[in-house]
Amino acid sequence: MTKKILILPGDGVGPEIVAQAEKVLLFLIEQGKLSVKLEHGLIGGCAIDETGSPLPDETLKKARHSAAILMGSVGGPKWDNVDRAIRPERGLLAIRSELALFANLRPAYLFPQLVEASTLKKDVVSGLDIMIVRELTGGIYFGMPRGIRELDDGQREGFNTLVYSENEIKRIARVAFETANKRRGRLCSVDKANVLEATELWREIVNDMAKEYEAVELQHMYIDNASMQLVKEPKQFDVILTTNMFGDILSDLASMLTGSIGMLPSASLAENGTGMYEPVHGSAPDIAGKNIANPLATILSLSMLLRFSLGEEKLAKKLEQAIDLVLTDGFRTKDIYSKGMKSIGTNEIGDEVIKALTSLLV
Ligand code: IPM
Ligand code: MG
């Protein structure tokens, strides 16, 4: 049976950036390089508008029957005042949780052509290649109890729970050790074990697992120090393993080392092989619909989809090479523009990637 790819453009810049990745997918299908069927669905604010829910049953059903999901971004000021339980972001968290997409891989790779686009000094970031392995379906994002309650004295109190079971820690740690094994063999586990029991256990379990991976050099770092080290000397890192919330924060930080958050793709994987692919950045409502958003994070996410969900390593590499060529040719969206480059729009970057891909596929 032909594999299905579910496309969920979402809100804000989501539809325009996902359209570029979809263009690339259609091109690969047309060229006979890929045999997949594309489906579309609603998630986030646009899904609330249509159905009242940020993750309609129909979307979830389609997702369960897909080999992979390509997602844009969710949220925007239009939905700031909707009930907390049905906020657009809840749709994203729900699909991650429902499909058990616990392993979030966020590579922070600096294309050498973009070294001028980073706000950090050239020698600090050039050659940067980090993989953040973020736990995605547990921790404080999902821990119970949670909520806002009224106290006896009439004031309100907000509360969340940071909780990690041994099995949750083991399965994400395994992904990180395996990833480090395939890369430069260095793993840094980031926690706050000096204060938080949940991450004290995290550290203990990661240490236990290290015995199975003798070739991997393991190190632990507290989140505050890791944030500092990422800015001070980012090239000391190979693979970073961390919790849901710390990973959320560190991946935005790491994106700035690569020039722009518009360059960071991600893969969220389940144990059964299902994968959802999305850019690390948000819906950027302030620039939505203006054809200026950078679609490369989403196109790079497509390349991760080809690699991890379809086993198309060669095509994934070609697509990465095509992006490399586009950057070498000097094409830039605003976020990665530097003097002397050619500033073009979202749609045009998509066209250039296809042109470059055409030259690579012959
Ligand atoms: C991310 C985003 C999400 C998260 C939001 C939109 C819920 O920031 O994917 O990094 O916090 O996980
Ligand atoms: Mg985030």
Residue nearest to atom 5 of ligand 1 (CA): 89
What are the start-end ranges of the E strands in the chain?
Answer: 3-10, 36-40, 68-73, 103-109, 129-135, 147-150, 156-159, 186-191, 217-222, 239-242, 265-269, 275-279, 331-332, 342-343
> What's the first-to-final CA gap in the chain, in angstroms?
28
The string of pLDDT tens digits covering residues 190-199 is 999 999 999 9
* CA dist., res. 224 & res. 190, Å (int): 9
Return the amino acid letter for 272.
N
Going by C-beta distance under 8 Å and a sequence separation of 6 or more, which residues neighbour residue 298?
17, 18, 20, 21, 70, 72, 265, 278, 279
Cα of 88 from ligand 2 centre, angstroms: 14
Going by C-beta distance under 8 Å and a sequence separation of 6 or more, which residues neighbour residue 144?
161, 163
User: What's the pLDDT score for residue 276?
Assistant: 98
Greater confidence (19 vs 339) lies with 19
Angle between the 223-232 and 244-257 helix axes, to the nearest 10 degrees?
A: 10
Cα of 234 from ligand 1 centre, angstroms: 22
Going by C-beta distance under 8 Å and a sequence separation of 6 or more, which residues neighbour residue 359?
325
Burial 48-80 (b: 16+ CB within 10 A, else e): beeeebbbbeebbebbeebbbbbbbbbbbeebe
Mean pLDDT of 207-220: 98
Mean pLDDT of 164-168: 98
Check pLDDT > 90 for residue 1.
no
Q: Which CATH class, in words, describes the domain spanning 113-263?
A: alpha beta
Does residue 208 carry a catalytic annotation? no
**Ligand 1 lined by 89 (C-beta under 6 Å):** yes
User: What's the pLDDT score for residue 272?
Assistant: 87
Q: To test the ligand 1 pocket, which listed residue (74, 90, 92, 268) has its Cβ within 8 A of the most ligand atoms?
A: 92
The string of pLDDT tens digits covering residues 98-123 is 999 999 999 999 999 999 888 899 99
Cα of 151 from ligand 1 centre, angstroms: 30
Residue nearest to atom 12 of ligand 1 (CA): 248
The secondary structure of residue 334, as a DSSP letter, is G
User: What's the pLDDT score for residue 231?
Assistant: 96
Count of C-beta atoms within a 10 Å radius of residue 358: 12
**CATH of segment(s) 1-102+270-362:** 3.40.718.10
**Ligand 1 lined by 92 (C-beta under 6 Å):** yes
Cα of 255 from ligand 1 centre, angstroms: 14
pLDDT band at 17 (very low <50, low <70, confident <90, very high): very high
Does residue 141 carry a catalytic annotation? yes
Mean pLDDT of 69-97: 95
Return the amino acid letter for 92.
L
Among 192-196, 260-264, 331-335, where is mean pLDDT lowest?
260-264
Q: To test the ligand 1 pocket, which listed residue (43, 55, 69, 89) has its Cβ within 8 A of the most ligand atoms?
A: 89
Tell me the two tokens of residue 248. Answer: 């959320």
Tell me the two tokens of residue 119. Answer: 């706000």
User: What's the pLDDT score for residue 273?
Assistant: 85
The string of pLDDT tens digits covering residues 25-67 is 999 999 999 999 999 999 999 999 999 999 999 999 999 999 9
User: What's the pLDDT score for residue 299?
Assistant: 98
User: Could you give the 3-state DSSP secondary structure of residue 164?
Assistant: coil
Report the share of the chain in percent with pLDDT over 70: 100
Residue with tokens 């959320």: 248
User: Could you give the 3-state DSSP secondary structure of residue 147?
Assistant: strand
Tell me the two tokens of residue 336. Answer: 């990665």
Q: What angle do CA 141, 147, 148 make, to 5 degrees?
A: 140
Domain locations along the chain? 1-102+270-362, 113-263
Q: Write down the mean pLDDT value for the chain.
A: 97
Does residue 252 carry a catalytic annotation? yes
Mean pLDDT of 159-167: 98
